[in-house]
């Protein structure tokens, strides 16, 4: 199949990237990251999550971050909302501070659903349904994240049929597009394609994105495997930040810098300025006191230093 000529990236660094950080990261730094990402040309940014601060303390400043960001026209800002309480908190601010899109997040694995959001898959869909309806009613778009579509830290390998089942449930409650997530980065190309194909049975290819953690170094080949199926939406984190607090051992998302280097090298457009993005990754890495977790960033910075 001919590969897509253009790819859209959602940088999930401010949310997925930072949610697992044990050290406090100020709202100011998070806002600074969002600004640098949009200045680099990102058109979609996952900013924060309206989850329980007891479960994920790092996201407790969600409202402050949403209030502080300077919106750039044409950029879509999304937030995670697991239940009505989270959705109501996300729209408690004036309308101009509302997210453009909310994300309900479920799992293809029962055990992970319990660990991450404290309910079964069926219960999660019951909780999401009113959230989806309320968002659509208010003109806010809805995405559904599907965790553990290839493997689960508690259940092991996940059959594609379970992914298809979750995708069908998401579709049934009005979710407009879905993320096929390899939460713990265990996937390899054929397995990722099987999870994608199970999802594509229920959603149009334009409504499916790949969300690959890079724990086993497979995220870039998995991205290519998804591109081969025509998928052209992907999620990644600048500087390769990330991990889920309820997925032990899961490391960061694939680095946005590495994905862009690969795509641009293949002649696939992203609209993103790689140099500016590298600087965004350096900014957040310095705030965290470490080096960016991206080989493309490292190589290009070494060359720059000449
Ligand atoms: P629960 O304990 O079952 O909820 O948690 P509850 O309804 O029984 O409420 C318990 C307490 O939490 C109450 O407070 C509620 O008010 C409060 P208390 O009376 O004890 O003081 N509460 C909330 N507070 C703020 N915001 C809310 C909210 N809801 C309840 N929205 C819940 C259920 C879903 C809330 C909890 O399990 C939770 O917050 N989980 C978050 C898990 C999370 O954020 N995980 C990381 C994101 S998912 C991810 O990273 C994967 C992804 O990247 C894709 C991939 O890679 O796989 C998306
Ligand atoms: Mg994730």
* Closest ligand relative to 53 C-alpha: 1
Please answer whether residues 182 and 211 qualify as being in contact, where contact means their C-beta atoms are separated by less than 8 angstroms: yes
Atom of ligand 1 nearest to the CA of 19: 46
Q: Which alpha helices (DSSP H) does the chain contain, by range?
A: 27-39, 62-68, 84-90, 110-117, 121-137, 160-172, 189-200, 219-228, 256-265, 274-288, 295-305
Mean pLDDT check: name the lowest of 14-23, 202-211, 221-230: 14-23
Check whether 183 has a pLDDT greater than 80.
yes
Check whether 146 has a pLDDT greater than 80.
yes
Compute, in angstroms, the gap from residue 114 CA to the centroid of ligand 1. 11
Q: Which of 13, 49, 52 to mutate to test the pocket of ligand 1 (most atoms within 8 A of CB)?
A: 52
Per-residue 3-state assignment (H helix, E strand, C coil) for 144-187: EEEECCCEECCCEECCHHHHHHHHHHHHHCCCCEEEEEECCCCC
* Angle, vertex CA 20, rays to CA 12 and CA 108, nearest 5: 70
Taking residues 149-178, report their average pLDDT. Answer: 98
pLDDT band at residue 102 under the 50/70/90 scheme = very high
Q: What is the pLDDT of residue 41?
A: 98
Compute, in angstroms, the gap from residue 281 CA to the centroid of ligand 2. 18
Please answer whether residues 36 and 261 qualify as being in contact, where contact means their C-beta atoms are separated by less than 8 angstroms: no
Q: Roughly how many angstroms between the first and final C-alpha of the chain, as a whole number?
A: 40
pLDDT band at residue 203 under the 50/70/90 scheme = very high
Q: pLDDT tens digits, residue range 108-139?
A: 999 999 999 999 999 999 999 999 999 999 99
Q: Which of 14, 51, 211, 214 to mutate to test the pocket of ligand 1 (most atoms within 8 A of CB)?
A: 51
Contacts of residues 297-303 at CB distance under 8 Å and 24 or more positions apart, as own/partner, are: 297/239, 297/255, 297/257, 297/258, 300/257, 300/261, 300/274, 300/275
Nearest alpha-carbon partner for 183 in 215, 224, 208: 215
Average pLDDT over the chain, rounded to whole? 96
Residue nearest atom 31 in ligand 1 by C-alpha distance: 86
244 a catalytic residue? yes
Please answer whether residues 12 and 235 qualify as being in contact, where contact means their C-beta atoms are separated by less than 8 angstroms: yes
Taking residues 174-189, report their average pLDDT. Answer: 97
Q: What is the pLDDT of residue 250?
A: 76
Q: Tell me the CA distances in angstroms from 157 to 176, 202, 232, 246, one per residue in order.
A: 27, 22, 25, 17
Task: Tell me the β-bridge partners of 79.
Answer: 48, 102
Q: How far apart are CA 63 and CA 228, in angstroms?
A: 39
Is there an atom of ligand 1 within 6 Å of 216 CB?
no
Check whether 243 has a pLDDT greater than 90.
no
Q: Quick one: fold of 8-305?
A: TIM Barrel (3.20.20)
| Number of Cβ within a 10 Å radius of residue 172 | 11
Is there an atom of ligand 1 within 6 Å of 118 CB?
yes
Q: How far apart are CA 188 and CA 215, in angstroms?
A: 11
Check whether 286 has a pLDDT greater than 90.
yes
**Tokens 């096929």, located at residue:** 180
Alpha carbon 5 to chain centroid distance?
Answer: 22
Structure tokens at 277: 């993005």
| Number of Cβ within a 10 Å radius of residue 101 | 19
* Closest ligand relative to 149 C-alpha: 1
DSSP code at position 255: B
Instruction: Domain ranges for the chain, please list them.
Output: 8-305
Q: pLDDT tens digits, residue range 23-37?
A: 999 999 999 999 999
Question: Which distant-in-sequence residues (6+ apart) come within 8 Å of 145 by Cβ?
Answer: 80, 103, 104, 105, 106, 178, 179, 181, 211
* Closest ligand relative to 182 C-alpha: 1
Is there an atom of ligand 1 within 6 Å of 254 CB?
no
pLDDT band at residue 38 under the 50/70/90 scheme = very high
Check whether 251 has a pLDDT greater than 90.
no
């Amino acid at each position: 199949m001919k590969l897509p000529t253009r790819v859209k990236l959602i940088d999930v660094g401010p949310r997925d990237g930072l949610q697992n950080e044990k050290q406090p990261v100020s709202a100011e730094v998070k806002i600074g990251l969002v600004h640098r990402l949009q200045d680099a040309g990102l058109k979609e940014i996952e900013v924060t999550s309206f989850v329980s601060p007891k479960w994920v303390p790092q996201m407790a400043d969600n409202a402050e971050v949403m209030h502080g960001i300077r919106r750039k026209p044409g950029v879509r800002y999304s937030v995670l909302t697991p239940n009505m309480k989270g959705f109501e908190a996300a729209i408690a601010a004036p309308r101009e501070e509302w997210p453009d899109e909310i994300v309900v997040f479920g799992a293809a694995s029962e055990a992970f659903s319990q660990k991450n959001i404290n309910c079964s898959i069926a219960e999660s869909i019951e909780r999401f349904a009113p959230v989806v309806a309320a968002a659509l009613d208010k003109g806010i778009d809805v995405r559904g994240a599907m965790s553990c579509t290839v493997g689960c830290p508690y259940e092991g390998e996940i059959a594609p049929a379970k992914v298809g089942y979750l995708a069908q449930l998401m579709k049934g409650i009005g979710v407009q597009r879905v993320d096929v997530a390899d939460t713990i980065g265990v996937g390899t190309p054929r397995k990722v394609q099987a999870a994608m194909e199970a999802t594509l049975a229920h959603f149009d290819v334009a409504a499916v994105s790949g969300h690959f953690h890079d724990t086993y170094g497979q995220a870039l080949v998995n991205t290519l495997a998804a591109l081969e199926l025509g998928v052209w939406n992907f999620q990644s984190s600048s500087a390769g930040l990330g991990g889920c607090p309820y997925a032990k051992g899961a490391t960061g998302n694939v680095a946005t810098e590495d994905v862009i280097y690969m795509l641009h090298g293949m002649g696939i457009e992203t609209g993103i300025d790689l140099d500016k993005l590298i600087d965004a990754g350096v900014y957040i890495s310095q705030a965290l006191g470490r080096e960016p977790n991206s080989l493309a960033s490292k190589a290009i910075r070494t060359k720059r230093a000449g």
